[in-house]
A and B are shown apart, each in its own frame.
Chain A
Amino acid sequence: MTQSADKLIIGGREFTSRLMVGTGKYASFEQTARALELSGAEIITVAVRRVNLDRSKESLLDYIDLKKYTLLPNTAGCYTADEAVRTCRLAREAGMSDFVKLEVLGDEKTLFPDNEELLKAAKILVAEGFTVLPYCSDDVIVCKKLEALGCAAVMPLGAPIGSGLGIRNPYNIRIILENVSVPVIVDAGVGSASDAAIAMELGCAGVLMNTAIAGAQDPLAMAEAMKLAVIAGRLSFKAGRIPRKLYANASSPLDGLIG
Protein backbone atom coordinates (compact mmCIF):
# COMPACT_ATOMS: atom_id res chain seq x y z
CA MET A 1 0.00 0.00 0.00
CA THR A 2 1.39 3.40 -0.91
CA GLN A 3 1.43 6.12 1.67
CA SER A 4 -0.73 8.41 -0.41
CA ALA A 5 -3.61 5.93 -0.45
CA ASP A 6 -3.47 5.42 3.29
CA LYS A 7 -5.63 8.28 4.51
CA LEU A 8 -6.79 8.94 8.02
CA ILE A 9 -10.48 9.84 8.11
CA ILE A 10 -11.91 11.61 11.14
CA GLY A 11 -15.35 13.16 11.23
CA GLY A 12 -15.65 12.80 7.46
CA ARG A 13 -12.41 14.69 6.84
CA GLU A 14 -9.37 13.16 5.21
CA PHE A 15 -5.81 13.57 6.47
CA THR A 16 -2.50 12.32 5.13
CA SER A 17 -0.43 12.81 8.26
CA ARG A 18 -1.11 10.58 11.24
CA LEU A 19 0.87 12.75 13.61
CA MET A 20 -1.07 15.36 15.55
CA VAL A 21 0.87 17.89 17.54
CA GLY A 22 0.21 20.37 20.29
CA THR A 23 1.28 23.99 20.18
CA GLY A 24 2.17 24.55 23.84
CA LYS A 25 5.50 24.93 25.68
CA TYR A 26 7.66 26.12 22.77
CA ALA A 27 10.32 28.76 23.32
CA SER A 28 8.71 31.13 20.80
CA PHE A 29 5.92 31.35 18.26
CA GLU A 30 8.55 31.16 15.49
CA GLN A 31 9.78 27.88 16.92
CA THR A 32 6.20 26.60 17.20
CA ALA A 33 5.53 27.37 13.55
CA ARG A 34 8.76 25.77 12.38
CA ALA A 35 8.23 22.64 14.48
CA LEU A 36 4.69 22.24 13.13
CA GLU A 37 6.00 22.48 9.61
CA LEU A 38 8.76 19.92 10.19
CA SER A 39 6.35 17.52 11.90
CA GLY A 40 4.17 17.40 8.80
CA ALA A 41 1.12 17.48 11.08
CA GLU A 42 -2.19 18.59 9.61
CA ILE A 43 -4.12 18.61 12.88
CA ILE A 44 -2.79 20.82 15.66
CA THR A 45 -4.20 21.31 19.13
CA VAL A 46 -4.74 24.68 20.77
CA ALA A 47 -6.10 25.75 24.15
CA VAL A 48 -8.90 28.24 24.81
CA ARG A 49 -7.95 31.03 27.19
CA ARG A 50 -8.89 34.60 28.07
CA VAL A 51 -7.58 37.21 25.64
CA ASN A 52 -4.73 39.17 27.15
CA LEU A 53 -6.05 42.71 27.20
CA ASP A 54 -2.55 44.06 26.76
CA ARG A 55 -2.73 44.62 23.01
CA SER A 56 1.04 44.56 22.51
CA LYS A 57 1.03 40.78 22.99
CA GLU A 58 1.20 38.74 19.83
CA SER A 59 -1.04 35.78 19.25
CA LEU A 60 -0.11 32.23 18.24
CA LEU A 61 -2.44 32.37 15.27
CA ASP A 62 -0.44 35.27 13.81
CA TYR A 63 2.27 32.69 13.14
CA ILE A 64 0.19 29.82 11.86
CA ASP A 65 -1.18 29.39 8.37
CA LEU A 66 -4.75 28.35 9.06
CA LYS A 67 -5.15 27.11 5.50
CA LYS A 68 -2.57 24.40 6.20
CA TYR A 69 -3.84 23.12 9.54
CA THR A 70 -7.04 21.86 11.11
CA LEU A 71 -7.27 23.39 14.56
CA LEU A 72 -8.25 20.98 17.30
CA PRO A 73 -9.16 23.10 20.34
CA ASN A 74 -8.75 21.27 23.63
CA THR A 75 -10.49 21.53 26.97
CA ALA A 76 -7.25 21.32 28.95
CA GLY A 77 -7.65 22.47 32.52
CA CYS A 78 -11.32 21.46 32.74
CA TYR A 79 -12.26 19.24 35.68
CA THR A 80 -16.02 19.00 35.13
CA ALA A 81 -18.25 18.18 32.18
CA ASP A 82 -19.86 21.62 32.44
CA GLU A 83 -16.53 23.45 32.16
CA ALA A 84 -15.49 21.28 29.22
CA VAL A 85 -18.78 21.79 27.36
CA ARG A 86 -18.59 25.55 27.93
CA THR A 87 -15.02 25.61 26.61
CA CYS A 88 -16.01 23.62 23.49
CA ARG A 89 -18.85 25.99 22.71
CA LEU A 90 -16.47 28.95 22.98
CA ALA A 91 -13.93 27.15 20.80
CA ARG A 92 -16.52 26.53 18.09
CA GLU A 93 -17.51 30.19 18.10
CA ALA A 94 -13.86 31.32 17.98
CA GLY A 95 -12.71 28.82 15.39
CA MET A 96 -15.86 28.15 13.38
CA SER A 97 -15.11 24.42 13.41
CA ASP A 98 -16.77 21.50 15.18
CA PHE A 99 -13.55 19.59 15.98
CA VAL A 100 -12.73 19.39 19.68
CA LYS A 101 -10.25 17.44 21.75
CA LEU A 102 -12.32 16.71 24.80
CA GLU A 103 -10.44 16.21 28.02
CA VAL A 104 -11.92 16.25 31.49
CA LEU A 105 -9.25 15.82 34.09
CA GLY A 106 -9.52 13.97 37.36
CA ASP A 107 -6.69 15.45 39.37
CA GLU A 108 -3.72 17.76 38.99
CA LYS A 109 -1.01 15.33 39.90
CA THR A 110 -1.75 12.61 37.36
CA LEU A 111 -3.85 14.58 34.85
CA PHE A 112 -5.67 11.30 34.34
CA PRO A 113 -9.12 11.61 32.76
CA ASP A 114 -12.27 11.68 34.87
CA ASN A 115 -14.08 9.18 32.69
CA GLU A 116 -17.47 9.74 34.30
CA GLU A 117 -17.41 13.47 33.54
CA LEU A 118 -15.86 12.75 30.14
CA LEU A 119 -18.78 10.55 29.11
CA LYS A 120 -21.26 13.14 30.35
CA ALA A 121 -19.58 15.90 28.32
CA ALA A 122 -19.18 13.72 25.22
CA LYS A 123 -22.90 12.96 25.18
CA ILE A 124 -23.84 16.65 25.29
CA LEU A 125 -21.26 17.67 22.68
CA VAL A 126 -22.15 14.94 20.19
CA ALA A 127 -25.81 15.99 20.49
CA GLU A 128 -24.75 19.57 19.72
CA GLY A 129 -23.03 18.47 16.52
CA PHE A 130 -19.41 18.55 17.65
CA THR A 131 -16.82 16.18 16.20
CA VAL A 132 -15.54 14.87 19.51
CA LEU A 133 -12.06 13.39 19.95
CA PRO A 134 -11.86 12.39 23.60
CA TYR A 135 -8.65 11.95 25.60
CA CYS A 136 -9.40 8.95 27.79
CA SER A 137 -7.93 6.16 29.87
CA ASP A 138 -6.48 3.14 28.07
CA ASP A 139 -9.61 1.28 29.05
CA VAL A 140 -11.59 -0.56 26.41
CA ILE A 141 -14.88 -0.21 28.29
CA VAL A 142 -14.62 3.57 28.39
CA CYS A 143 -13.54 3.61 24.74
CA LYS A 144 -16.53 1.49 23.72
CA LYS A 145 -18.87 3.81 25.61
CA LEU A 146 -17.32 6.85 23.92
CA GLU A 147 -17.73 5.20 20.53
CA ALA A 148 -21.35 4.30 21.31
CA LEU A 149 -22.02 7.94 22.22
CA GLY A 150 -20.89 8.98 18.75
CA CYS A 151 -17.33 10.20 19.28
CA ALA A 152 -15.35 10.46 16.04
CA ALA A 153 -12.27 8.80 17.53
CA VAL A 154 -10.95 7.64 20.88
CA MET A 155 -7.66 8.90 22.24
CA PRO A 156 -6.37 6.67 25.02
CA LEU A 157 -3.29 7.82 26.88
CA GLY A 158 -0.02 5.96 26.51
CA ALA A 159 1.23 7.33 29.83
CA PRO A 160 0.51 10.47 31.90
CA ILE A 161 0.50 13.77 29.99
CA GLY A 162 4.01 15.16 29.62
CA SER A 163 5.60 12.13 31.33
CA GLY A 164 7.49 10.78 28.33
CA LEU A 165 7.11 7.25 29.68
CA GLY A 166 5.98 5.81 26.35
CA ILE A 167 3.23 3.26 25.81
CA ARG A 168 2.97 1.76 29.31
CA ASN A 169 0.36 -0.81 28.44
CA PRO A 170 0.54 -1.85 24.81
CA TYR A 171 -1.80 -4.77 25.55
CA ASN A 172 -4.56 -2.41 26.63
CA ILE A 173 -4.09 -0.42 23.42
CA ARG A 174 -4.32 -3.67 21.43
CA ILE A 175 -7.53 -4.63 23.20
CA ILE A 176 -8.99 -1.20 22.40
CA LEU A 177 -7.93 -1.56 18.76
CA GLU A 178 -9.69 -4.90 18.50
CA ASN A 179 -12.92 -3.67 20.02
CA VAL A 180 -13.70 -0.25 18.57
CA SER A 181 -14.18 0.78 14.95
CA VAL A 182 -13.45 4.51 15.23
CA PRO A 183 -9.82 5.67 14.84
CA VAL A 184 -7.69 5.00 17.93
CA ILE A 185 -5.16 7.74 18.51
CA VAL A 186 -2.60 7.48 21.30
CA ASP A 187 -2.66 10.80 23.08
CA ALA A 188 -0.07 11.62 25.73
CA GLY A 189 2.93 9.79 27.12
CA VAL A 190 5.17 9.63 24.05
CA GLY A 191 8.76 10.53 24.90
CA SER A 192 10.80 9.62 21.86
CA ALA A 193 10.42 8.61 18.24
CA SER A 194 10.46 4.89 19.06
CA ASP A 195 7.41 5.38 21.34
CA ALA A 196 5.51 6.92 18.43
CA ALA A 197 6.58 4.08 16.14
CA ILE A 198 5.40 1.51 18.71
CA ALA A 199 1.96 3.14 18.87
CA MET A 200 1.70 2.99 15.10
CA GLU A 201 2.99 -0.58 14.91
CA LEU A 202 0.26 -1.60 17.32
CA GLY A 203 -2.15 -0.43 14.64
CA CYS A 204 -3.19 2.94 16.02
CA ALA A 205 -4.63 5.38 13.52
CA GLY A 206 -2.44 8.19 14.79
CA VAL A 207 -0.45 9.71 17.62
CA LEU A 208 -0.94 13.04 19.37
CA MET A 209 1.91 14.67 21.26
CA ASN A 210 3.17 18.00 22.50
CA THR A 211 5.83 17.81 25.23
CA ALA A 212 7.90 15.15 23.45
CA ILE A 213 8.62 17.69 20.71
CA ALA A 214 8.44 21.02 22.52
CA GLY A 215 10.46 19.77 25.49
CA ALA A 216 13.21 18.06 23.46
CA GLN A 217 16.65 19.67 23.51
CA ASP A 218 16.21 20.34 19.81
CA PRO A 219 12.47 20.58 19.19
CA LEU A 220 12.87 21.03 15.44
CA ALA A 221 14.94 17.87 15.05
CA MET A 222 12.47 15.97 17.24
CA ALA A 223 9.52 17.23 15.18
CA GLU A 224 11.11 15.69 12.11
CA ALA A 225 12.01 12.51 14.00
CA MET A 226 8.39 12.11 15.06
CA LYS A 227 7.16 12.63 11.53
CA LEU A 228 9.43 9.86 10.27
CA ALA A 229 8.65 7.57 13.22
CA VAL A 230 4.91 7.79 12.61
CA ILE A 231 5.36 7.09 8.90
CA ALA A 232 7.77 4.22 9.62
CA GLY A 233 5.53 2.75 12.31
CA ARG A 234 2.50 2.88 10.06
CA LEU A 235 4.32 1.23 7.16
CA SER A 236 5.70 -1.40 9.50
CA PHE A 237 2.20 -2.16 10.79
CA LYS A 238 0.82 -2.37 7.26
CA ALA A 239 3.74 -4.54 6.15
CA GLY A 240 3.01 -7.13 8.84
CA ARG A 241 5.90 -8.05 11.10
CA ILE A 242 7.46 -11.49 11.37
CA PRO A 243 6.43 -13.64 14.32
CA ARG A 244 8.67 -13.51 17.37
CA LYS A 245 10.65 -16.72 17.82
CA LEU A 246 12.90 -17.84 20.63
CA TYR A 247 15.63 -19.36 18.45
CA ALA A 248 17.57 -18.30 15.37
CA ASN A 249 16.49 -18.79 11.79
CA ALA A 250 19.38 -18.29 9.37
CA SER A 251 19.00 -15.68 6.64
CA SER A 252 21.71 -17.14 4.40
CA PRO A 253 21.14 -20.45 2.57
CA LEU A 254 22.54 -23.58 4.13
CA ASP A 255 23.07 -25.16 0.68
CA GLY A 256 26.42 -24.63 -1.02
CA LEU A 257 28.47 -24.09 2.07
CA ILE A 258 32.19 -24.62 1.33
CA GLY A 259 34.18 -27.44 2.79
Chain B
Amino acid sequence: MQIVLNGDSVETADGCTVGALLQQLGISRERVAVELNADIIPKGDYEKQLLSDGDKIEIVHFVGGG
Protein backbone atom coordinates (compact mmCIF):
# COMPACT_ATOMS: atom_id res chain seq x y z
CA MET B 1 0.00 0.00 0.00
CA GLN B 2 0.99 3.61 -0.48
CA ILE B 3 1.27 6.13 2.33
CA VAL B 4 2.38 9.76 2.22
CA LEU B 5 5.32 10.09 4.59
CA ASN B 6 6.54 13.62 5.31
CA GLY B 7 5.12 14.71 1.98
CA ASP B 8 6.56 11.86 -0.10
CA SER B 9 4.67 8.87 -1.42
CA VAL B 10 6.14 5.69 0.08
CA GLU B 11 5.32 1.98 -0.40
CA THR B 12 4.78 0.07 2.82
CA ALA B 13 3.56 -3.41 3.82
CA ASP B 14 -0.10 -4.05 4.52
CA GLY B 15 -0.78 -4.26 8.25
CA CYS B 16 2.13 -1.96 9.06
CA THR B 17 1.82 -0.11 12.37
CA VAL B 18 3.27 3.27 13.32
CA GLY B 19 5.75 1.45 15.57
CA ALA B 20 6.85 -0.86 12.75
CA LEU B 21 7.25 2.08 10.39
CA LEU B 22 9.51 3.93 12.84
CA GLN B 23 11.58 0.80 13.36
CA GLN B 24 11.88 0.29 9.62
CA LEU B 25 13.07 3.89 9.25
CA GLY B 26 15.53 3.55 12.13
CA ILE B 27 13.91 6.40 14.02
CA SER B 28 14.09 6.42 17.81
CA ARG B 29 10.62 7.08 19.17
CA GLU B 30 11.82 9.00 22.21
CA ARG B 31 12.22 12.38 20.57
CA VAL B 32 9.76 12.38 17.72
CA ALA B 33 6.07 13.08 17.35
CA VAL B 34 3.86 11.34 14.82
CA GLU B 35 0.77 12.71 13.18
CA LEU B 36 -1.58 10.42 11.29
CA ASN B 37 -4.00 12.28 9.01
CA ALA B 38 -3.50 15.40 11.15
CA ASP B 39 -4.14 13.63 14.49
CA ILE B 40 -1.28 13.11 16.92
CA ILE B 41 -0.65 9.48 17.79
CA PRO B 42 0.41 9.14 21.45
CA LYS B 43 3.66 7.23 21.88
CA GLY B 44 1.85 4.49 23.79
CA ASP B 45 -0.33 3.74 20.76
CA TYR B 46 2.43 3.26 18.19
CA GLU B 47 2.27 -0.55 18.25
CA LYS B 48 -1.48 -0.84 17.88
CA GLN B 49 -2.02 1.98 15.41
CA LEU B 50 -2.42 0.36 11.98
CA LEU B 51 -1.74 2.30 8.80
CA SER B 52 -4.10 2.26 5.83
CA ASP B 53 -3.61 2.93 2.14
CA GLY B 54 -3.48 6.68 1.47
CA ASP B 55 -2.67 7.66 5.07
CA LYS B 56 -0.74 10.86 5.53
CA ILE B 57 2.00 10.54 8.14
CA GLU B 58 4.13 13.32 9.52
CA ILE B 59 7.13 12.47 11.68
CA VAL B 60 8.71 15.52 13.28
CA HIS B 61 11.52 16.23 15.71
CA PHE B 62 13.43 19.19 17.14
CA VAL B 63 16.01 21.04 15.07
CA GLY B 64 18.03 24.16 15.75
CA GLY B 65 15.89 27.28 15.85
CA GLY B 66 15.46 30.61 17.55
Contacts and interface: CB of A to CB of B under 8 A. Distances in A.
A25 B64 contact: yes
Q: State the 8 A-B residue pairs at the shortest beta-carbon distance, nearest first.
A: A47-B65, A22-B66, A210-B66, A93-B33, A94-B33, A46-B62, A23-B64, A24-B64
Given A51-B6, A53-B6, A89-B40, A74 B31 contact: no
Q: Which of A46, A60, A61, A90 has the most CB of B within 10 A?
A: A90
B25 A55 contact: yes
Give chain A's interface residue range (CB within 8 Å of chain B): 35 or more
B65 A71 contact: no
A45 interface: yes
B29 to A, nearest CB: 10
13 contacts: A23-B64, A24-B64, A47-B64, A48-B33, A49-B61, A50-B59, A51-B32, A51-B59, A53-B25, A61-B62, A86-B35, A94-B31, A94-B60
Interface of B: 5-8, 25-27, 31-35, 38, 40, 42-43, 58-66
Interface of A: 22-26, 32, 45-51, 53, 55, 59-61, 71, 73-74, 76, 86, 89-95, 161-162, 209-211
Nearest to A29: B64
Given A50-B7, A53-B5, A55-B25, A91 B63 contact: no
